Amino acid sequence: MRKIFYCFLLLFAFISGSNAQNVVPFEDFNYYFRTFENDNFRQLEFQRIKSYQAGDEFVAYIDTRGNLRVYDGKERQDISNMNVSYHISDHLMAYNIGATLNMWDAGKLQTLTYFANNYEVKDSLIVFEDTRFNTVSAYWNKQIYPLYQVTGDLYMPVAIGDNIVAFKDNGNFYKVFWRGQIYDLGVWNSTIEFEAGCDMITFNDPTTRTYAVFENGQFLDVEQFYMKKYKAGRGFIVYEDLNSNLMYYKDGDKFQISNFSASFWEVKDDLAVWGENSFVYAYQNGKKIQVTNYIPKQYLLKNNIFVFKNIAGGVSALVDGKVVELTNQMDAEYEIYGNTILIKLFNRSFIVYKDGRKFTT
């Protein structure tokens, strides 16, 4: 009996997990608003919508009557029938009606402030100005955390990552907010150039004249001199050293991923991509991979996927260590939602690439 019950739980978990799919939205050739989910295409609205924004887990849109709606692959939720401005990330949405700033988080609604000014939405953060108290606060993990209060004009933080914020308070004291805690860096009168990712912030530290990182609640020196260029990803950083080598740092370890002067390089989420001479390489899942022997004119990085215009003018992608050709049709457009690639062709037909399979409208 226990085995039967255990098997039932496994089956239920599998079904629940399979339903937690990415929602991939698009408007087809008839301008019907459709989604791809659970390996099928679904029509979401039967009248033309006015706008939409989508993240990895849901889509927010203004329908034909001007209503703000959210669809997360399970249910459609009416948010507001008033004229709103809205912004989303992969997991959160913030929307304002005048000075009132509201948010959506996994189906639940909350008012952040009735006196909002500027705000920014990231993967697990909403950072916003509150003009009533002249403060800047952050919403994270279902709570609101005051960051700083100023006596003059309000200003947003100097760097906002997926779940981390670098800011200076009214006394030019630089600090980092991460996972509900504030960490003190130091006082500096001029600007520090921070790069923020997920769980990581990197910068040239003017107090020690070193290149540093904020990692796991600590400020650590990575190099003994300033670095020329640096970027932060999801739990790692990449930077150019003084000899123009491209360096990769994660969990206290650093190593070289390129000893050429990279013609370009980008970091986003889980990926680092760069050009060496006429070749393009990526560092994915702990491996250096040659992607192309040409420099793509257009490309997009998100999560652990690299999509680019191939030499034939179509679209190819690096997924799970392999380069796959998705289409050779010219002028195709593309987006990434979670682990899914959406390609829009010239005739407004669509290709969806997911888990090694292609689906077409």
Q: Does residue 1 register a pLDDT over 60?
A: no
The reported pLDDT for the residue numbered 21 is 57
Could you read off the pLDDT of 22-59 as tens digits, one per residue? 899 999 999 999 999 999 999 999 999 999 999 999 99
Could you read off the pLDDT of 232-252 as tens digits, one per residue? 999 999 999 999 999 999 999
Of 127, 25, 84, which Cα lies nearest the Cα of 338? 25
- β-partners of residue 360 are 351
> Looking at beta carbons, which pairs linking 118-121 to residues 24 or more positions away fall under 8 Å?
118/154, 118/156, 119/87, 119/94, 120/87, 120/156, 120/160, 121/87, 121/88, 121/89, 121/92, 121/93, 121/94
Q: What tokens appear for 231 in the block?
A: 């970027």
The reported pLDDT for the residue numbered 190 is 85
Domains in the chain, CATH or no CATH each:
159-259 (2.40.128)
Of 189, 216, 215, 214, which Cα lies nearest the Cα of 204? 214
Q: If you search the block for the tokens 């659970």, which residue do you land on?
A: 38
The reported pLDDT for the residue numbered 231 is 98
What whole-number percentage of the chain has pLDDT above 70? 94
Phi, psi of 177 (to 5 degrees): -105, 125
The reported pLDDT for the residue numbered 5 is 36
Q: In a 3-state reduction of DSSP, which class is residue 5?
A: helix
CA dihedral 230, 231, 232, 238 (to 10 degrees): -60
In angstroms, the CA 113 to CA 130 distance is 7
Give the pLDDT band of residue 136 (cuts 50, 70, 90): very high
| Residues comprising the chain, all counted | 361
The reported pLDDT for the residue numbered 223 is 97
